[in-house]
């Protein structure tokens, strides 16, 4: 009976250990295949519906820099800026013009509809702020190298239109647009590539309810998800024509809705940013936990907007240089109709100190002003995302343009935005929690049961066998040294034969 128990224990223990080994080798590919099947975007599936109508509630938050001493600034004082915000807008997203192609891609355009949320804002859209007159500053920048007589004519035009370097508008006008006579005039005299798209100016002019960026993205397959949701082209172009190399002009990365699954800490991810006309790299910053789901936080590297001497890869963005801007700032003017638009992180976070010292009222804070994406590494789905960017204007002085007197070379902050999803819906959280945590829990359980109980049973069975074998050997030794046994082995039955001194015959 003990032999049977020992045999069963050994066999079952070995089987459990083998099961643990097989789990290590085959469990992840098996689970990944099940997850990849659910992630396929096909007509009639839940994933397709989520792709067309993302089940999230994004918010756009806008912060303006109100200039409290604009007259003094024009007389030479340092500008004093007062951050006013947030002005919050709830968004509804819907993909339109959705087409699945035979080559394994899907094209669509994201339509964003904005709704002002008074409860999440510091005030109504009727609040007024004084900011740089962006159309005028842009016009001054564009004529800075023109012949003197053109500058004089332009100066007279500004005087007739009563344009000044600073203007006061309400929030609604600055966000959604207001008619500007200077823009209308500029459309008649500027070359096509420098003309603004309308006679109105607003940071989100003609953006509410529009869908003007058509993206084509890879769908991936169960066998290969390495390009899942990565952008193939934008507005039917694989390359832009703004920068100095094909690599910097290449349209690639994610639109922010998701990345390929099985993300590693060593990966460099990319997100295509329309406002910057480039793909931004994202690198691992730290481990995080959101909604009970362990994830990774990815952020742009600190040198993403650095000088060429610090980051040589930025040389391709140095159009018209050297010298190039750098120092934590990015010159986006070439893709913004020739306006002197300069991009940075909010409050000049991670920028050279000289830009921060040139103004009063800014206070960079990594918790408030950093750009980040939190991802579930197993699925590549964002757990949280906060895209943040600040729009500044590069100022210049043109002595012949009298209405612009007082402007001087510097980088002047105007506004910054935060666009993201404050919280994922509960039903999405539950699904992500199950997909992210349940497979790992099952794997750990199987491995624990397999190796712990398997090793115990295997060792126990072997121990019983060894004990039984030792007992058999001991019994055999005892039997071979017993006197009666020896006598029987020699054929003697008379006990007197065993005496030390037998009688002689």
pLDDT digits (tens, 9 = 90+) for 345-357: 999 999 999 999 9
Q: Per-residue confidence at 11, pLDDT binned at 50, 70, 90? A: low
For residue range 26-50, what is the model confidence (pLDDT) as tens digits? 567 777 788 889 899 999 999 999 9
Q: Per-residue confidence at 73, pLDDT binned at 50, 70, 90? A: very high
Question: Smallest Cα–Cα separation from 228: which of 74, 9, 38?
Answer: 38
Tally of domains within the chain: 1
The Cα 238–Cα 218 span in angstroms is 13
Q: Per-residue confidence at 476, pLDDT binned at 50, 70, 90? A: low
- Contact indicator for 460, 13 with CB cutoff of 8 Å: yes
Answer positive or negative: Cα dihedral of 158, 145, 319, 409. negative
The Cα 66–Cα 414 span in angstroms is 8
For residue 328, say if its preceding peptide bond is cis, omega within 30 degrees of 0: no
Other C-beta atoms lying within 10 Å of the C-beta of residue 46:
12
For residue range 265-314, what is the model confidence (pLDDT) as tens digits? 999 999 999 889 999 999 999 999 988 899 999 999 999 999 999 999 99
The whole-number average pLDDT for the span 185-197 is 66
Q: Per-residue confidence at 500, pLDDT binned at 50, 70, 90? A: very low
Alpha-carbon separation of residue 14 from 4, 5, 443, 445, 461 (angstroms): 15, 14, 19, 18, 10
pLDDT in the model for residue 78: 96
pLDDT in the model for residue 355: 96
Domain limits for position 183? 56-424
Other C-beta atoms lying within 10 Å of the C-beta of residue 282:
24
Which residues, in sequence order, are bridge partners of residue 299? 283
Max Cα–Cα distance, the chain, nearest Å:
158
Other C-beta atoms lying within 10 Å of the C-beta of residue 10:
19
Other C-beta atoms lying within 10 Å of the C-beta of residue 367:
5
Higher pLDDT, 115 or 161: 115
Q: How far is CA 349 from the centre of its chain?
A: 18
Higher pLDDT, 436 or 101: 101
Average pLDDT of the residues of the chain: 86
- Contact indicator for 341, 391 with CB cutoff of 8 Å: yes
The whole-number average pLDDT for the span 80-89 is 98
Alpha-carbon separation of residue 97 from 166, 208, 214, 254, 359 (angstroms): 41, 17, 8, 19, 45
pLDDT in the model for residue 97: 96
253: pLDDT strictly greater than 70? yes
Residue 355 inside a domain? The answer is: yes
Tell me the H-state helices in 162-265. 171-176, 181-189, 246-249
pLDDT in the model for residue 184: 78
pLDDT in the model for residue 464: 63
pLDDT in the model for residue 503: 46
Residue 7 inside a domain? The answer is: no
25: pLDDT strictly greater than 50? yes
% of the chain exceeding 70 in pLDDT: 79
Question: Smallest Cα–Cα separation from 432: which of 90, 29, 108, 55?
Answer: 55
Residue 13 inside a domain? The answer is: no
Q: Quick one: tokens of 400? A: 């012949």
Residue 32 inside a domain? The answer is: no
pLDDT in the model for residue 426: 85
Residue 19 inside a domain? The answer is: no
Residue 461 inside a domain? The answer is: no
Q: Which residues contact 77 (CB under 8 A, 6 or more apart)?
A: 69
- Contact indicator for 240, 275 with CB cutoff of 8 Å: no
- Contact indicator for 79, 132 with CB cutoff of 8 Å: no
Tell me the H-state helices in 40-95. 46-52, 70-74
Residue 201 inside a domain? The answer is: yes
Highest-pLDDT range among 21-25, 135-139, 154-158, 369-373: 369-373
% of the chain exceeding 90 in pLDDT: 64
Q: Quick one: tokens of 223? A: 């066998």
The whole-number average pLDDT for the span 231-246 is 95
Answer positive or negative: Cα dihedral of 232, 56, 126, 349. negative
Residue 501 inside a domain? The answer is: no
Q: How far is CA 119 from the centre of its chain?
A: 28
Give the side-chain half-sphere CA count within 13 A for 384.
17
Q: Which residues contact 429 (CB under 8 A, 6 or more apart)?
A: 291, 293
The whole-number average pLDDT for the span 218-227 is 94
């Amino acid at each position: 009976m003990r032999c049977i128990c020992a045999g069963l224990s050994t066999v079952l223990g070995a089987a459990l250990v083998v099961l643990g080994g097989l789990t290590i080798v085959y469990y992840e590919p098996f689970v990944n295949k099940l997850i990849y099947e659910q992630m396929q975007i096909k007509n009639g599936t839940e994933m397709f519906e989520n792709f067309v109508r993302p089940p999230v509630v994004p918010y756009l938050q806008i912060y303006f820099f109100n200039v409290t001493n604009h007259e003094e600034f024009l007389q030479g004082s340092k500008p004093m800026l007062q951050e006013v915000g947030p002005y919050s807008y709830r968004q509804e997203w819907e993909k339109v013009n959705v087409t699945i192609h035979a080559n394994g891609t899907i094209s669509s355009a994201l339509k964003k509809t904005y709704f002002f949320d008074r409860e999440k804002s510091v005030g109504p859209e009727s609040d007024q702020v004084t900011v740089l007159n962006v159309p005028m500053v842009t016009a001054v920048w564009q004529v800075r190298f023109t012949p003197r007589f053109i500058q004089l004519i332009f100066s007279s035009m500004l005087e007739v239109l009563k344009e000044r370097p600073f203007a006061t508008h309400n929030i609604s006008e600055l966000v959604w647009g207001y008619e500007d006579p200077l823009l209308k005039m500029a459309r008649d005299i500027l070359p096509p590539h420098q003309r603004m798209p309308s006679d109105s100016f607003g940071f989100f002019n003609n953006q509410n309810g529009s869908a003007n960026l058509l993206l084509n993205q890879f769908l991936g397959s169960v066998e290969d998800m390495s390009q899942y949701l990565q952008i193939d082209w934008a507005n039917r172009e694989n390359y832009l024509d703004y920068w100095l190399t094909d690599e910097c002009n290449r349209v690639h990365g994610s639109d922010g809705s998701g990345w390929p699954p099985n993300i590693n800490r060593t990966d460099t991810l990319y997100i295509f940013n329309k406002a910057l006309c480039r793909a931004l790299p994202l690198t691992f910053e730290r481990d995080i936990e959101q909604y009970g789901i362990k994830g990774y936080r990815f952020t742009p590297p600190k040198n993403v907007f650095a000088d060429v001497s610090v980051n040589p890869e930025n040389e391709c963005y140095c159009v018209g240089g050297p010298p190039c801007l750098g120092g934590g700032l990015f010159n986006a003017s070439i893709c913004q109709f020739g306006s002197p638009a300069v991009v940075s992180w909010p409050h000049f976070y991670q920028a050279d100190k000289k830009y921060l010292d040139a103004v009063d009222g800014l206070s960079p804070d990594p918790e408030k002003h950093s750009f980040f994406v939190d991802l579930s590494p197993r699925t590549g789905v964002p757990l949280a995302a906060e895209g943040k960017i600040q729009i500044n204007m590069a100022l210049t002085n043109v002595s012949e343009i009298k209405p612009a007197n007082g402007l001087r070379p510097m980088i002047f902050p105007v506004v910054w935005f935060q666009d993201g999803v404050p919280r994922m819906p509960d039903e999405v959280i539950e699904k992500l929690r199950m997909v992210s945590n349940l497979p790992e829990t099952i794997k750990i359980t199987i491995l624990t049961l397999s190796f712990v109980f398997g090793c115990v049973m295997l060792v126990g069975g072997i121990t019983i066998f060894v004990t039984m074998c030792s007992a058999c050997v001991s019994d055999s030794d005892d039997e071979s040294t017993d006197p009666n046994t020896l006598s029987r082995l020699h054929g003697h039955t008379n006990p007197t034969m065993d005496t030390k001194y037998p009688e002689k015959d």
